[in-house]
Amino acid sequence: MTLKLIKKEDTKVLNAHILSNLNPRQQEAVQYTAGPLLIVAGAGSGKTRVLTYRIAYLINLGVKPERILALTFTNKAAEEMKSRIATLVDKYQAMKVWAGTFHSIFARILRIESNHLGYTSSFSIYDTDDSIRLIKQIVDRSNISLQKLTPQSIQSKISWAKNQMISWQKYAASAQTPFDKFIANVFAEYEKRLRLNNAMDFDDLLLNMIALLKSSEEIKSKYCNRFEHILIDEYQDTNRAQYEALKILSSKHRNICVVGDDAQSIYRWRGAEIRNILDFSKDYSDAKLIRLEQNYRSTKIILEAADSLIAYNKNQIPKKLWTENSKGEKIELFVCEDESEEAEKICSRIKQFVDTGTKLSDIAVFYRTNAQSLPFENELRKANIPYVVIGGMSFYKRKEIKDIIAYLRILINPQDNTSLLRIINEPPRGLGNVSIRHYLDYAENYNIPFLEALGNADEVPNLTHNAKEAGKKFYEMIIKYSELINESLSVDLILEYLEASGLLNMYRELNTDDAIDRLENIEQFVNDIARFIEVNPDGGLNDYLQQITLVSDIDNVDFSSGKISLMTLHSAKGLEYPIVFISGIEEGLLPFSRANQNPDEEEEERRLFYVGITRAQKKLFFSYAKERMRFGSYYSQNPSRFLSEIKKELIDFGEFMNVTNVRKSNQLQINSYSQLADADYYSQLPQTEMTFRVGDVVKHSYFGKGKITGLAGEGDNRRAVVYFPSVGGKKHLMLKYANLEKVPPERNNNYG
């Protein structure tokens, strides 16, 4: 009794302390602990703070931390959340909270319960790249010519369907066109083979979680009872499958607290349904709505710029962000000739900041596509300014690393045919396509894994002596190390295995720059494993492999390091920097070209720009280039329509102020100079040279500059296929009508 009283008193004190750090709205969000709660949290409104304080508050109230489930979008966010909770409550309590991404938390549960769904606990998790390989195998076998269907596009269609919870059966039933019917067949076979391989793709982690919860009352109540409180960050980016899983998981206690900002929904293309957040109050009619509208991050100018931009979107939850922060400086705009000049200008501005004592880690450069990072990297390297590129070609997606991952996977999941197929002849060991085919046929006939067929080489028909021996030898190596590694995982063992694989020697013998690079990457990878073993002495290879599959680059960035950050606008979500440069604000890039066709996509692109702007705390820069290298040639670019949507009094046009004189309507038009110059230039060209070749750069009166990728037909029927960056795709044009102008090559290549 006494004990209880003291505890209660402590709780009061502790929670009073927690609440004292919050504004009234935030306090309300933390204290409303019974029933569904929707927190609409604008950019920079202290969303993470509210989530972490809420969890700490719950723990102080006596809720067991292991009964709290916190789902985030990135592992980084989960880690940050955990470490912040650890500063508010006991460290060991904080560690017990189930915090992670949907994918990693569900994978964790699925490993425990795998037998209920017919998988083993060492199932492989396939990333997109693995899925595409598997699809390619299926397609190659089908003997159907793909025409425009690439394995990538099939993968994205299948993934889309799975995100919408459309099974292959449903997909097949509604397939109308031959294309769709073909995809339906691939889809069915793909699902079958995933099972056969004891593997799940990213989407399966969500779908199988739902299947698990529906598999029995017992399991359902086990998890529904366990999670007394569920919190979801970035709710605007959840998809249908995540939504369904949450609905079941929260059905018992109904303590579901979702936090999000519809204005920051940028993953529609991946199946995120903004509707989930817009309809939350419909799904839970008793839901409480709290708006966090005070921004603590940015200056008034930055906030107003963001606000004036996002006002152009129609679909929104009404809200108005405000701040007590100072007005701040205007946004500076850099107009550049091309992407190299853009990098130069930004880099020299960065140097100014550095010279006046700004920390490098306070500065970030954003862009739309990963490909845009290169000129910045070059320029920063020249200037000796340390930087990190976040995202892009992820370390774990490099060929040599994926090969090693496949080597490791097969050790713990002998059913993983896709991984085995990847490495069976890498390095070459005398098992080419023909032999592999025989092994695979045998495996299929006897319904055994590919690996086992290698072990039974003597029984497999049609094989040459060499192919039999090579198969057996490989099989024995795998079995040997699989046993050793399952006994105990050590770096020495891994190294020995990699030597035995022949992979290291292959690169050593090649001894090219590229090979040396790859060897270094492998070394780094082994170090990574060593680090893992050190931190997780009880963890198996299984845990390691899962972790690296579900982790993104951004999770591994050390933000305290003294480096400039370069990243895409997507990666920037959830981060903040005192100084932000947003580059490449051009039509075709931002909004990205495909967005032209669909107002929803345009709105998403606008939100993406909005996310970028609202990352900035003190000072924001915009830049665009008049010409940009794409696919090896220069194309002229126009400033983004979004620039004209931002109140112009917030932007400092600097030396380019005069450009605004060419304004024709009340809409701000900043483009013009390059276009006018170009128009003059082209009109002076002689119009005689009209024979076209593939690879020529041409100009079309409407689509602008493009590159010929194909030619067909004769005479009046002569047609060209032209890639136009402005539309982000190809157009089929009749030369007779298209009036294409040829652009002289020296105009396209003589830069830099």
Least distance (Å) between residue 202 CB and DNA: 4
Least distance (Å) between residue 569 CB and DNA: 8
378-386, 587-595, 616-624, 666-674 -> range binding DNA (CB under 7 A): 587-595
The Cα 40–Cα 583 span in angstroms is 29
Q: Does 164 bind DNA (CB under 7 A)?
A: no
Q: Does 190 bind DNA (CB under 7 A)?
A: no
For 479, other C-beta atoms within 10 Å of its C-beta total: 15
Q: Does 550 bind DNA (CB under 7 A)?
A: yes
Which DSSP string do the residues of 277-289 spell out, in sequence order?
HHTHHHHSTT-EE
The Cα 306–Cα 608 span in angstroms is 11
Among 369, 378, 596, 660, binds DNA (CB under 7 A): 369
Q: Is-catalytic flag, 459? A: no
Q: Which two tokens stand for residue 472?
A: 């057996």
Residue pair 94/86 in contact by the 8 Å Cβ criterion: yes
102-110, 328-336, 380-388, 414-422 -> range binding DNA (CB under 7 A): 102-110
Question: CB under 8 Å to 703, separation ≥6 — which residues?
Answer: 722, 724, 726, 727, 731
Residue pair 561/612 in contact by the 8 Å Cβ criterion: no
213-221, 257-265, 345-353, 629-637 -> range binding DNA (CB under 7 A): 629-637
Q: Which two tokens stand for residue 67?
A: 């009964």
Q: Does 631 bind DNA (CB under 7 A)?
A: yes
Site string for DNA, 200-229 (x = CB under 7 A): --x---------------------------
80-88, 266-274, 288-296, 332-340 -> range binding DNA (CB under 7 A): 266-274
Q: Is the peptide bond before 427 cis (omega within 30 degrees of 0)?
A: yes
How many residues sit close enough to DNA to count as binding (CB under 7 A)?
51
Q: Does 388 bind DNA (CB under 7 A)?
A: no
- Across 358-374, b (16+ Cβ under 10 Å) vs e yields bebbbbbbbbbebebbb
Judged by beta carbon, residue 487 or residue 746, the one nearer DNA is 746
Q: For Cα atoms 481, 486, 488, give the angle at the middle one, nearest 5 degrees.
A: 100
Among 49, 67, 103, 699, binds DNA (CB under 7 A): 103
Q: Is-catalytic flag, 368? A: no
The Cα 565–Cα 285 span in angstroms is 43
Question: CB under 8 Å to 67, separation ≥6 — which residues?
Answer: 226, 227, 228, 229
Catalytic residue among 27, 33, 48, 547, which?
48
Which DSSP string do the residues of 582-595 spell out, in sequence order?
E---BTBBTTBGGG
Q: Is-catalytic flag, 233? A: yes
252-260, 293-301, 331-339, 545-553 -> range binding DNA (CB under 7 A): 545-553
95-103, 405-413, 445-453, 528-536 -> range binding DNA (CB under 7 A): 95-103
Q: Which two tokens stand for residue 611?
A: 């996310």
Least distance (Å) between residue 399 CB and DNA: 5
In 3D space, the residue among 567, 552, 556, 557 whose CA is nearest the CA of residue 608 turns out to be 567
Report H helices in 279-393. 280-283, 300-310, 339-355, 373-382
Q: Is the peptide bond before 591 cis (omega within 30 degrees of 0)?
A: yes
Catalytic residue among 162, 349, 468, 615, which?
615
Catalytic residue among 234, 273, 403, 627, which?
234
SS3 state of residue 260: strand
Binding residues among 558-577 for DNA as defined by CB under 7 A: 568, 570-571
Q: Does 430 bind DNA (CB under 7 A)?
A: yes
Burial class (CB in 10 A: 0-12, 13-18, 19+), 494: buried
Q: Does 368 bind DNA (CB under 7 A)?
A: yes
SS3 state of residue 690: coil
Which DSSP string do the residues of 156-182 spell out, in sequence order?
HHHHHHHHTT--HHHHHHH--SHHHHH
Least distance (Å) between residue 428 CB and DNA: 3
Among 349, 429, 607, 618, binds DNA (CB under 7 A): 429
Site string for DNA, 117-136 (x = CB under 7 A): ----------xx--------
410-418, 463-471, 486-494, 652-660 -> range binding DNA (CB under 7 A): 463-471
In 3D space, the residue among 659, 638, 650 whose CA is nearest the CA of residue 703 turns out to be 638
1-9, 100-108, 190-198, 480-488 -> range binding DNA (CB under 7 A): 100-108
Q: Which two tokens stand for residue 431?
A: 């098992």
Element (H, E) at 396: none
Least distance (Å) between residue 493 CB and DNA: 27
Strands (DSSP E) found in 144-248: 199-201, 229-232
Q: Does 157 bind DNA (CB under 7 A)?
A: no
Judged by beta carbon, residue 466 or residue 739, the one nearer DNA is 466
Q: Does 709 bind DNA (CB under 7 A)?
A: yes
Among 632, 713, 744, 745, binds DNA (CB under 7 A): 632
Among 15, 74, 325, 637, binds DNA (CB under 7 A): 74
Residue pair 247/214 in contact by the 8 Å Cβ criterion: no
Judged by beta carbon, residue 53 or residue 187, the one nearer DNA is 187
Q: Does 423 bind DNA (CB under 7 A)?
A: no
Catalytic residue among 264, 323, 372, 617, which?
264
Q: Does 435 bind DNA (CB under 7 A)?
A: yes
Judged by beta carbon, residue 150 or residue 669, the one nearer DNA is 150
Q: Which amino acid is at 709?
A: T
Q: Does 442 bind DNA (CB under 7 A)?
A: no
Q: Does 501 bind DNA (CB under 7 A)?
A: no
Catalytic residue among 113, 130, 233, 602, which?
233
Judged by beta carbon, residue 168 or residue 634, the one nearer DNA is 634
Least distance (Å) between residue 37 CB and DNA: 24
Least distance (Å) between residue 421 CB and DNA: 12
Q: Does 425 bind DNA (CB under 7 A)?
A: yes
Judged by beta carbon, residue 319 or residue 630, the one nearer DNA is 630
Among 601, 660, 700, 741, binds DNA (CB under 7 A): 601
Q: Is-catalytic flag, 264? A: yes
Q: Does 340 bind DNA (CB under 7 A)?
A: no
State the number of CA atoms in the 13 A half-sphere of 423 facing the CB. 28
Q: Does 150 bind DNA (CB under 7 A)?
A: yes
Which DSSP string do the residues of 74-132 spell out, in sequence order?
SHHHHHHHHHHHHTTS-HHHHHHSEEEEHHHHHHHHHHHHGGGGT--TT-EEE-HHHHH
Among 143, 356, 433, 701, binds DNA (CB under 7 A): 433
Quick one: DSSP state of residue 270? G
The Cα 474–Cα 455 span in angstroms is 8
Question: CB under 8 Å to 111, separation ≥6 — which residues?
Answer: 121, 123, 542, 546
Judged by beta carbon, residue 129 or residue 228, the one nearer DNA is 129
Q: Is-catalytic flag, 473? A: no
Among 61, 173, 311, 694, binds DNA (CB under 7 A): 694
Residue pair 598/560 in contact by the 8 Å Cβ criterion: no
Judged by beta carbon, residue 309 or residue 489, the one nearer DNA is 309
422-430, 518-526, 651-659, 685-693 -> range binding DNA (CB under 7 A): 422-430
Least distance (Å) between residue 97 CB and DNA: 18
Residues belonging to the chain: 752
Which positions are catalytic? 47-48, 233-234, 264, 615
Residues that bind DNA (CB under 7 A): 73-74, 101-104, 127-128, 150, 152, 202, 266, 269-270, 368-371, 391, 399, 425, 428-435, 464, 466-467, 550, 552-555, 568, 570-571, 592, 594-595, 601, 630-632, 694, 709, 728, 749
